[in-house]
Amino acid sequence: MELFRTFDPKHPDETTVNLELRGGPDGAFVQLLNSPLKGVETEEVNGKTYWNIDMGEIGAGRVQLPVFQYDPARQVFAASGGFEITRELQLPLDLLQNLFRSIKLDGVADLIPDAIPLMSFDLLDNNDNLDPGKLNAFFHNRLPQPMLDALGVVASYFNETPDRFRQFMRFNMPDTLAFEAEFGATGTMGFKLASSPGIKYIAVGAGTPVPIPALNLVELRSISFHEMLNGQLIGLSVDATIDKYDPVTLAASVVLGKGNSVLDKINLDFLPKAKELRQTIELGELFSIIPYQTALPIPIPVFYDRLRFDYAGVEGANLGSEFRFPRPSLNLAFLAEVLNDFIAFFTVGGVLLDPYKDPKGTDLSYTIGANYLTLPKYLGGKDIGSTQDIVTISLYENVAHLLNFLKTFSIIHEFVYVFPPEFRIQNKAFKTKFINLDLELSGGWVVSTPEEFPTIPESNCLFRHRSAANCCPFCRRSIRVCRV
């Protein structure tokens, strides 16, 4: 039996291990085009080369051939590859079944499934409730009735736990794993691992606000690290979702959901729905730097596609907070254009920057998303804050307006635009009650320009028209932007 591919002059095409070597501005690349192992088929899919591995009843998959690269600009050697599952993996249990039959325990052997699926293990029904029937089907519908009755009681309580907590009874093994590794000439290194769908696991940690053990349900989609500034800093990127549940929250969800003879006599409509309890932290492509040579190496967040906190507690309050500061792409052509614009701005009189130039993905854009507190129903249930995005700030646009103002001292055309319109244009209404009188107060402010004012939405206009002829005191024209 020949394991490795060895050269045969009579069949050169089938016995040659092929390599591809290419070079360009991004560096030099080396990639295997076929397998050095005999019997492993090679195919190309979407420009990537794979080795197909068929393991019969165990399953099948394909391995992405690694690509090796040397980047002269950064002086690093890099490698990337991956693995995809093309047929569901499972662990055959024939040997275990035969073992029990050999010692005359046929009843036990009949309960053992033919194989354990490694790809997915789903015990929830279409309503995301625990289904004892699925567990029974896993054991060939041979579980004794007393055990099924006990599982039914357990399921009735488990199904009252929060929705996101129950989702961890639906396990899916990642279909795709991809990796990237790089090593620098000075000894620095980096590594990245990504999976789809994310890898789920449970970790035990401290609960909040009560310092008792809690379950952290983690879904990790990708993680990477690399050294920066010759090892002075470590860059850490994480894409994950964390759900935290402490025993108090889980017990309260069961009590609120199932109720009892005492609670059933009390009107508990003011309490939150048990299945909506949650404490979720979403780290969407969070990039942090870690000064690990300091006494306390704490990660410092720098960029993040989405940083979100979502809370719904047993006291009935809801809290949401979201921020977005995505990592910009490196567009050399745009940076060259901006550099030329800045040179002309500082050297030629009368030349101004274009604040509305398309940044082509290079601009730093910071978004303050929904930030709100929903009071419990017994305190009125009102929202404090905003459930929509509050403001998005473009660094390039604001800096361009500020530099233009410093050059022209034009308050109307430049300085006003340094501040986002969400801060300059506001219209608020306040409702209150005095004895038996319902009072409504409205007020606001507008800091705008003649060009911008006609485009302000009706809901944001501070001044009110009495008629079409009596127009806004800013523009003195009959426009439709002011509310009647």
> Over the chain, what is the mean pLDDT?
76
Instruction: Give the residue-averaged pLDDT of 289-318.
Output: 84
**Using H for helix, E for strand and C for coil, what is the string for the chain?**
CCCECCCCCCCHHHHCCCEEEEEECCEEEEEECCCCECCCEEEEECCEEEEEEECHHHCEEEEEEEEEEEECCCCEEEEEEEEEEEECCEEECHHHHHHHHHCCCHHHHHHCCCEEECCEEECECCCCCECHHHHHHHCCCCCCHHHHHHHHHHHHHHCCCCHHHHHHHEEECCCEEEEEEEEECCCCEEEEEEEEEEEEEEEEEECCCCCCEEEEEEEEEEEEEEEECCCCEEEEEEEEEEEEECHHHHHHHHHHHHCCCCHHHCCCCCCCCHHHCEEEEEEEEEEEEECCCCCCCCCEEEEEEEEEEEEECCCCCEEEEEEEECCCCCCHHHHHHHHHHHHHHHHCCCCCCCCCCCCCCCCCEEEEEEEEEECCHHHCCCEEEECCCCEEEEHHHHHHHHHHHHHHCCCCCCHHHHCCHHHHEEEEEEEEEECCEEEEEEEEEECCCCCCHHHCCHHHCCCECCCCCCCCCCCCCCCCCCEC
Instruction: Note the pLDDT tens digit of each residue in 316-353.
Output: 889 999 999 888 776 666 777 777 888 888 888 888 88
Instruction: Note the pLDDT tens digit of each residue in 204-247.
Output: 776 555 567 778 888 899 999 887 776 677 888 999 999 888 87
Instruction: Note the pLDDT tens digit of each residue in 40-54.
Output: 677 777 777 787 877
In this prediction, residue 193 carries a pLDDT of 87
Looking at per-residue pLDDT, the higher value among 58 and 288 belongs to 288
464 pLDDT exceeds 60? no
* pTM for the predicted model, two decimal places: 0.67
